[in-house]
Chains A and B, each alone.
Chain A
């Protein structure tokens, strides 16, 4: 079945450091891929998405490229800020009978120090 595996944290970085959070997936067909972010005490916010191979999603300095050949959707940011401290979730949405369901990774806690 469909599934997502993401790098588990915690990840601790200094401000302005480069961030990579790895995410790989298993799915039949061509799923849509997402990164969500969760701040303490809040729900999930959509950070970026990609719907087909080689698409690059980007938002607020974060980027991720849909790589079908490696079944990956790694999240990157060139220079993190203290305000980026949160939990990041990689997710996929399949096709067909599971269309309305998101499959999530376990989440990666990111802490950025000034």
Chain B
């Protein structure tokens, strides 16, 4: 069974631009969660989607948004990029009634 995939793996953007990251969960998984990882703040929860509905949201500004499609694939969008948005963005999926999350390799975003 294929693991969680994330595209692209690396991105370089400039301040003020926007970016869209994509995540394809493991087949059969309906929950997708997003995390931001930085050296200073560690791993921080962004949001979680289940069956196309946002079920949980972390403490991030409204510039960070996401969505989930009917095939469970998810995207997150960051608008008006700031230097502090430079991070590794990780996506994780989990199966119904299971409590472990499986992570993708991440997208490394650099904002210049």
Instruction: Point out residues on A near B: beta carbons under 8 Å.
Output: 32, 34, 36, 42-46, 49, 51, 89, 93, 97-107
Residues of B within 8 A of A44 (CB): 90, 92, 103
Residue B75 lies at the interface, judged by CB distance under 8 Å to chain A: no
With A34-B100, A101-B58 as given contacts, are A106 and B42 in contact (CB-CB < 8 Å)?
Answer: yes
Residues in chain B within 8 A of chain A (CB atoms): 4, 6, 31, 33, 35, 42-43, 45, 48, 50, 55-56, 58, 90, 92, 94, 99-106
With A44-B90, A107-B42 known as contacts, the answer to whether A101 contacts B103 (CB < 8 A) is: no
Q: Is the CB of B56 within 8 A of A46?
A: no
Q: How far is the CA of A104 from the CA of B100 in the complex (A)?
A: 13
The chain A residue sitting closest to B106, CB to CB, is A43
Q: Is B33 a contact of A46 with CB atoms below 8 Å?
A: no
